[in-house]
Amino acid sequence: MGKTKIEWATKVWNPITGCTKISEGCRNCYAFRMSKRLAGRYGYPKDNPFAVTFHPERLNEPLHWKKPQKIFVCSMGDLFHKDVLRSYIGLIWRTMQKASQHTFLVLTKRADRIAELLKNTSVFPTLPNVWLIVSVEDQKTADERIPLLLQTPAAKRGVSYEPALGPVDFSEYLPKTVPPDHANGTGYMTVGLDWLIMGGESGSGARPMHLDWARKVRDDCKAAKVAFFMKQMSEKAPIPKDLMIREFPGEVPKC
């Protein structure tokens, strides 16, 4: 139950399914395609299988997985879609809080809504086992979404640069060491991303990703000691040896 072939997770958990397309990265959405195959089954509405749907019967699934897992939350939707009630998000948050043995990876394109809701830490406490990830596809979406993510309380913050549809300079969003401002002062680290996942588009009509984009991101992450995870090339082409890097936060030395 919940098994996945997604390389950066060991389980998926879908208490919410369904979404609507909001940017170019959504054009060839795999979840949209898959929902059509599931129409009328497993809780996917027959007439509109990608309608935003709450599945209360799935709410406690992670509590039954005793072995610690890396769980991709809502792989078939977006937890922070505008049609997902705040009360539903609260129930899901409580489950993640109870299932503290797991690491929950919450990926969204709705950075504005995470910034709005999660600033209220009395309702949505900052959980040490919940990592927030925003999905971007080009410089425009990166510049719109990442600043909002960095303003949002979170144990770990990451970006899924997939599908990579244009070059992105992430250097502004990576942590930097600020030196002391005088002889007896102390330096500090700026707030920045903890993780960057990158991947090309797959499936019918996949748009190309250039190797130069990936190598620039790899090099910038290495310099900033930020975990870099190369998920896939466009159309599942083999990943070049120099890009076969699959790190998680905490695996990269900080000094």
pLDDT 10s digits, 82-95: 999 999 999 999 99
Domain limits for position 217: 11-243
Can you give the pLDDT at residue 185?
A: 67
Domain count, the chain: 1
Can you give the pLDDT at residue 117?
A: 98
Total residue count of the chain as it appears in this document: 255
- 250 inside domain: no
Handedness of CA 246, 71, 76, 152 (dihedral sign): negative
Using only C-alpha atoms, the chain has a radius of gyration, in whole angstroms, of 18
| Among 53, 112, 114, CA closest to 84 | 53
Can you give the pLDDT at residue 155?
A: 97
Can you give the pLDDT at residue 252?
A: 80
- 137 inside domain: yes
- 251 inside domain: no
Cα distance between residue 167 and residue 114, in whole Å: 25
Can you give the pLDDT at residue 68?
A: 97
Handedness of CA 176, 103, 228, 169 (dihedral sign): negative
- 2 inside domain: no
- 24 inside domain: yes
- Extract the residue ranges of the chain whose pLDDT is less than 70: 1, 182-185, 187-189, 254-255
> Do 240 and 225 meet the contact criterion of CB atoms below 8 Å apart?
no
Cα distance between residue 221 and residue 86, in whole Å: 34
Cα distance between residue 64 and residue 138, in whole Å: 38
**Average pLDDT of the chain, as a whole number:** 93
Q: Report the b/e string of 34-60 with b at 16+ CB within 10 A.
A: ebeebeeeeebeeeebbebbbbeebbe
> Do 66 and 101 meet the contact criterion of CB atoms below 8 Å apart?
yes
Full strand arrangement of the beta sheet holding 11-13:
11-13, 70-73, 103-108, 130-136, 156-161, 195-199, 227-232
Can you give the pLDDT at residue 110?
A: 98
Cα distance between residue 87 and residue 56, in whole Å: 12
The DSSP code for 216 is H
- 5 inside domain: no
CATH of the domain at 131: 3.80.30
Beta bridge partners of 232: 199
Six token digits for residue 23: 């940017």
DSSP string, 39-55: TTSTT--SS-TTS-EE-
Can you give the pLDDT at residue 188?
A: 65
